[in-house]
A and B are shown apart, each in its own frame.
Chain A
Amino acid sequence: MTLGPQPDNAMLPHRVVMSARSMPGYAYGARSPIWWGTVGFAVAEGMGFAIAAAMYFYLVFINGNWPLSAPPPDLLWSSLFTVVLLASIWPNQRAKRDGEREDLASTRRNLVIMSLFGVVLLVIRVFEFGTLHVRWDQNAYGSVVWLLLSLHTLHVLTDLGDTIVLTVLMFTRHGHGKRFSDVGDNAFYWYFVVASWLPIYVIIYWFPRWW
């Protein structure tokens, strides 16, 4: 078998054994590449959450007493946030379902509701920051609490931006076809925002009471 230069041709001789003519142009969930991309980013960001949580417990372990020179944060606003966030699961699930049915009117309505949920949650979050009883520059405990809460707020914010843009798109002539698949992926990402909050909520608000 000789190695070395060969004449140039565009492609090797080949024979057709399969036709792709009848295949659909987009799909939902795990069939769609975008969904996997969303999962990839959720995994990377979830790892970020996990590392921040590990930092929290490492600092607990190092210091022994916890929280450092501050009472534990208040439960009122944070619990309200948690309740509203859990309540958003229902419209989120509906958005996903109606998106897969490609029902334009319901999808528009669901997306508006989800955008409103996001805004309300951010307002609650502002009050929540006010009841932590510690500043980020007070001590390491304050730093890590602010880190966790800010990380999560960033995710609420990005998903809200995504939802609002999708809502606008749905009200333009782009509201068809592949956009419905995007609605499903957006709903999936919102689940990640919900799921990542629950452990953070327990860590920030309940753990210092039990420690």
Chain B
Amino acid sequence: MSPDELRDDQVDGPELTARLAKTWGTDKGIIGALSTVDHKVIGRRFIATAILFLFLGGLSAILMRMQLALPENRLMGPDFYNQLFTMHGTTMMFLFGVPIGEAFAVYLVPLMVGTRNIAFPRLNAYAYYVYVFGGLLIWVAFVLNIGPDVGWFAYVPLSGPEYSPGKRADFWAQMITFTEVSGIAVAISVIVTVFKFRAPGMTLDRIPLFVWAELINSFVIIFALPAVVTASATLMMDRLVGTHFFNPAEGGDALLYQHLFWFFGHPEVYIIFLPATGWVSAIVVTFSRRQAFGYIALVLSLIATGFLSFGLWVHHMFTTGLPQLGASFFTASSMLIAIPNGIQIFCWIATLWDGRPVFRTPLLFIVGFFFIFVAGGLSGIMLASVPLDTQVHDTFFVVAHFHYVLIGGNVFPLIGAVYYWFPKFTGRMMSERLGKWHFWLAFIGFNATFFPMHILGLMGMPRRVYTYLPEMGWGSLNLFTSLGAALFFASFVLFLYNIVSSARRGAVAGPNPWNAGTLEWASASPPRPQNFDRIPVVTNREPLWAHRDDLPVVAGLSVENREQLVTTVTDARADLRETTPEPSIWPFIAAIATAILFIGSMFTPWALVWGSVPLALALMGWFWPKPSTEDER
């Protein structure tokens, strides 16, 4: 980089925009598409892929509801049904639930903190491809009728070498490895983006609540995912190389697996919920026309939720015969997480209370979130009680509960978020009229589907059964539920139609159609490759509300090279102009090498040895410096 290169204080206006777009752009063609490191391109793909998996998971649910609509239905056999509910849970948790939060972070966090790209953009691209390969692996296995059939939790010994011969459980365990490698990589990229790439002046108390949510979420991911990687890796070892971690005959223990799994599995539900709190915060603030009430309380609640989520995992194991005193501790901790969640709910309601709510589709879905999520949270309090849990654990009551908290707590805010940010992603507005229809269809369909399940569970219907006897008397409620599911699924079809038609014909949105206050609305819609022609300087939590017509900015960054402003961690003082990596095909190749190594290791442990050679070569290509960006003062 020569000292006389062009800087952004030497050009202005459309010329600056065009030159920066050229510097930060993505090349045309397939190689260009696979080499891109633009967080928006990767983020768009990430969101689209996660939503595709949401639809696949939904389809598997519809098939299950068809089978359960009638007692002793002969539509499918137990083998296919078991594959279906395994695919449903696995897809929703690992291929949709965790990635969707991270996908939104990949797209929005750099825009919201006012920078031009995510930290470690190549790692981020690699993480996306690894995630796609993991999802492909398990769905291809399913289509070939060798999909996993041991549940999304894959408890041993049912998933062990003795009771699940063949490769089915290995597909599941290896898919975990793919998605967790991806999840941890994205989490680290997001954390470093928030730590080091915030716009100057964005001190800790000016970080948007959505970014806080994604930051805490990334921390939870980093601490929780290693547990499930350990669980799935040791399960693979037991299956493939004859270790005895979970074999009681040789000193192992079946419950050890459950501890490992749920030490991840409970934080997992908060990994799914935390990004949603970010969506709720953003939408509530924008549509209340008022800054968030209790910002500090909201942030502290997020942090408390993150911490507490690690102290609850045993409440998934209340019926395993653990010592009673220990179980009581987990009752108390599970109940206590109601406090930070309660604080968040109260602060949002207070913001609405003192605001001037504007009833657009995003806010409708947030109101739906309140109705459903609070109900689910309260039934969760029942489950937190050891005695009550012995009745409702592993029944349809639990199925009802967690669909209330997960769909209420993640999917409803997500749909709101899609309606809210769609103009930013595409430059066009989604149809408001279809949005209203969509909301009522989804809200009624959801409750019709899942409310009766509470009753079914109390009537003694266990989970994960492929059928039931007619004399059990569960037929009518199951039929009702199945019809509700059809309605709920129809709402998603409408959603898809709205997305597709609005992307082509929607009203042109402009940079800030909702008059929101955070930085992503300062960029064009859809954002240019450089995000901002000049990096904003932040003086307020809602920069666009504070400076509607004269946003303060930094000048002096290179126009010819990909330079980003690096700031200090706490007070966001401008510190460095670091170059960020150029596009590269190597992350994609590294992801392929990773896939070969992982899939090979399902068949022989030696794959870890010979599979690491192409991976090492790909990584060298990835990190080998380009001479042009090297020269520094």
Contact = CB atoms under 8 A, between A and B. Distances in A.
Given A14-B536, A174-B630, A21 B251 contact: no
A83 interface: no
Contact of A20 (B189, B227, B577): B577
Contact of A47 (B226, B245, B554): B226
Interface string B474-490: 00000000000000000
A30 B252 CA distance: 42
Interface stretch (B335-343, B583-591, B596-604, B619-627): B619-627
Contacts of A9: 510-511, 524
B390 interface: no
Contacts of A19: 9, 554-556
Nearest to B189: A37
Interface string B550-562: 1111111100000
Given A14-B551, A37-B192, A178-B632, A140 B574 contact: no
Contact of A165 (B259, B525, B623, B632): B623
A43 to B, nearest CB: 6
Interface in A13-39: 13-27, 30-33, 36-37
The range of chain A's interface size is: 35 or more
Contact of B550 (A14, A140, A144, A146): A14
Interface stretch (B27-35, B134-142, B193-201, B203-211): B193-201
A207 interface: no
A178 B429 CA distance: 44
B253 A5 contact: no
Contacts of B523: 11
A163 B251 CA distance: 40
B243 A37 contact: no
A15 B550 contact: yes
B521 to A, nearest CB: 9
B432 to A, nearest CB: 9
Nearest to B14: A10
B192 A40 contact: yes
Given A12-B522, A20-B565, A59-B256, A165 B620 contact: yes
A55 interface: yes
A20 B574 CA distance: 8
The range of chain B's interface size is: 35 or more
Contacts of A51: 226-227, 230, 260, 263
Of the listed residues A15, A41, A142, A146, the one surrounded by the most CB atoms of chain B closer than 10 A to its CB is A15
Contact of B630 (A41, A142, A176): A176
Contact of A52 (B223, B230, B250, B630): B230
A96 to B, nearest CB: 19
A22 B575 CA distance: 10
B244 interface: yes
Given A18-B555, A33-B196, A37-B192, A44 B225 contact: yes
Given A62-B253, A140-B252, A165-B623, A36 B575 contact: no
B367 interface: no
16 contacts: A6-B510, A12-B511, A15-B553, A16-B555, A18-B200, A18-B574, A23-B575, A26-B576, A26-B632, A36-B191, A48-B230, A59-B245, A140-B253, A143-B234, A143-B245, A147-B243
A165 B251 CA distance: 42
Interface of B: 1, 7, 9, 14, 17, 119-120, 123, 184, 187-189, 191-192, 195-197, 200, 222-223, 225-227, 229-230, 234, 237, 241-245, 247, 250-253, 256, 259-260, 263, 289, 358, 360, 427, 429, 507-515, 522-525, 528, 532-537, 544, 549-557, 565-566, 568-569, 574-579, 616, 620, 623-625, 627, 630-633
A144 B550 CA distance: 62
B298 to A, nearest CB: 24
A137 B242 CA distance: 5
A40 B555 CA distance: 31
Contacts of A27: 566, 575-576
A14 B230 CA distance: 51
Contacts of A11: 17, 511, 522-524, 532-534
A182 to B, nearest CB: 9
A36 B569 CA distance: 10
Given A136-B243, A140-B244, A8 B554 contact: no
Contact of A23 (B14, B195, B525, B577): B577
A60 to B, nearest CB: 10
A5 B188 contact: no
A161 interface: yes
A68 B251 contact: yes
Nearest to A55: B256
Contacts of B550: 13-15
A16 B554 contact: yes
A7 B510 CA distance: 5
A3 interface: yes
A58 interface: yes
Contact of A36 (B9, B192, B251): B192
A97 interface: no
Contacts of A136: 237, 241-243
Nearest to B246: A140
Nearest to A22: B556
Contact of A141 (B187, B251, B556): B251
B14 to A, nearest CB: 7
Interface in A138-161: 138-144, 146-147, 161
A15 B528 CA distance: 20
Contact of B625 (A1, A146, A174): A174
Contacts of B237: 136, 143, 147
Of the listed residues B119, B196, B360, B631, the one surrounded by the most CB atoms of chain A closer than 10 A to its CB is B196
B316 to A, nearest CB: 17
Contact of B188 (A17, A37, A59, A146): A37
B513 A5 contact: yes
The 5 tightest CB contacts between A and B, nearest first, are A6-B510, A137-B242, A143-B243, A40-B188, A140-B251
A3 B360 contact: yes
Contact of A143 (B14, B222, B223, B252): B252
B554 A20 contact: yes
B196 A48 contact: no
A8 B549 contact: no
A13 B192 contact: no
A44 B510 contact: no
Contacts of B524: 8-11
A59 B251 CA distance: 7
Given A14-B553, A20-B556, A5 B508 contact: yes
Contact of A140 (B247, B360, B507, B544): B247
B625 A24 contact: no
A47 B574 CA distance: 32
A24 B9 contact: no
A211 to B, nearest CB: 14
Contacts of A23: 556, 565, 574-577
Contact of A33 (B17, B197, B535, B554): B197
Contacts of A161: 616
Nearest to A13: B549
Nearest to B18: A10
A5 B429 contact: yes
A4 B508 CA distance: 9
B536 A147 contact: no
